[in-house]
């Protein structure tokens, strides 16, 4: 399903992005990797780039080929470097890259956003998510945080709430929709990657251990990569604006508790 397709994957130097790039290559795709860090294992095609600023995104796009079939937005921060950096990478930078890339994505192409179970609260915080996703372009995130009274510890869940809401909006945004570009999300629960240690520091051991206990184990990058690549492929041609929980059943378990069934 991916043979001969060109897929741009961010966050390829580690964890989920690295495994997604490896699997896409094994499936016959031409992978272009992007990361702020250079991967330890050589990538056939790699752009060192930083999506945390508007200039960084522009510089990445400048180096890309004219035709790309799919974009997998995997790069992310845990929140341990503060709210402004986290919102800039996990949401505003990701969105800026997706919008800048839209003209190069082929008709019927795909964007897949790696969100998280941590964004589960988007419905409860809908007004905040509507306001913050309605801001166009790449805002100065530090002043935006001050203006809206956003707290540092909210950075990670907030970034994923915005990403989940925007995924649905983008599926109907003319920039993507008019050319049949599908926009979907994958939401993992805890996954054994370097970021998980940081989540333990940011969210607390209790929260992470409770999530793991609900489903028996933490996920692995190899559990998440096939879901990302399915949504990148034409096999998902009628899936749009969706969030695929890729968490061993964690979201189902939380839904049962929250909704009381």
Ligand X SMILES: NC(=O)c1ccc[n+]([C@@H]2O[C@H](COP(=O)([O-])OP(=O)(O)OC[C@H]3O[C@@H](n4cnc5c(N)ncnc54)[C@H](O)[C@@H]3O)[C@@H](O)[C@H]2O)c1
* Catalytic (active-site) positions: 156
Q: How far is the CB of 164 from ligand X (least distance, A)?
A: 12
Does position 36 interact with ligand X (CB under 6 A)? The reply is: yes
Q: How far is the CB of 172 from ligand X (least distance, A)?
A: 23
Does position 16 interact with ligand X (CB under 6 A)? The reply is: yes
Instruction: Report long-range pairs for 30-33 (Cβ below 8 Å, ≥24 apart).
Output: 30/4, 30/5, 30/6, 31/7, 32/6, 32/7, 32/8, 32/64, 32/65, 32/68, 33/9
Draw the binding track, 62-81, toward ligand X (x: CB under 6 A; -: no contact).
------------xxxx----
Region of 50-58, 103-111, 140-148, 235-243 interacting with ligand X (CB under 6 A): 50-58
Extract the tokens encoding 33.
């990797």
Among 183, 197, 21, smallest CA distance to 113 is for 183
Residues between 176 and 205 with contacts to ligand X, criterion CB under 6 A: 188, 190-191, 193-196, 199
Q: Distance between CA atoms of 195 and 145, rounded to whole angstroms?
A: 23
Residue with tokens 């508007």: 54
Let me know the angle formed at the C-alpha of 199 by 95 and 129, rounded to the nearest 5 degrees: 35
Does position 37 interact with ligand X (CB under 6 A)? The reply is: yes
Q: Cβ closer to ligand X: 73 or 177? A: 73
Q: Distance between CA atoms of 88 and 54, rounded to whole angstroms?
A: 9
Q: How far is the CB of 158 from ligand X (least distance, A)?
A: 12
The residues with which 246 forms a beta bridge, in sequence order, are 188
Q: Cβ closer to ligand X: 49 or 109? A: 49
Q: Cβ closer to ligand X: 51 or 162? A: 51
Does position 50 interact with ligand X (CB under 6 A)? The reply is: yes
């Amino acid at each position: 399903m991916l043979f001969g397709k060109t897929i741009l994957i961010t966050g390829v130097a580690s964890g989920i992005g690295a495994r997604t790039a490896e699997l896409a290559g094994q499936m016959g795709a031409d992978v272009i990797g992007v990361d702020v860090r250079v991967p330890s294992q050589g990538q056939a095609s790699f752009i060192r780039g930083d999506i945390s600023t508007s200039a960084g995104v522009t510089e990445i796009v400048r180096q890309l080929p004219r035709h790309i079939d799919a974009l997998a937005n995997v790069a992310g921060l845990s929140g341990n470097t503060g709210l402004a950096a986290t919102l800039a990478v996990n949401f505003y930078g990701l969105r800026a890259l997706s919008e800048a890339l839209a003209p190069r994505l082929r008709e019927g192409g795909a964007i897949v956003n790696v969100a998280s179970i941590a964004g589960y609260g988007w419905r409860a915080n809908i007004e905040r998510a509507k306001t913050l996703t309605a801001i166009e372009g790449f805002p100065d995130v530090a002043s935006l945080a001050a203006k809206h009274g956003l707290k540092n510890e909210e950075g990670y869940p907030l970034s994923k709430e915005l990403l989940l809401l925007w995924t649905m909006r983008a599926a109907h945004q003319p920039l993507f929709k008019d050319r049949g570009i599908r926009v979907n999300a994958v939401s993992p629960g805890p996954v054994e990657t370097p970021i998980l240690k940081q989540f333990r520091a940011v969210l607390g051991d209790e929260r992470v251990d409770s999530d793991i206990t609900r489903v028996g184990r933490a996920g692995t990058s190899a559990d998440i990569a096939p879901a990302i690549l399915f949504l990148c492929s034409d096999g998902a041609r009628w899936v749009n604006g969706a969030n695929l929980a890729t968490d061993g059943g964690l979201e189902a378990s939380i839904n049962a508790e929250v909704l009381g069934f």
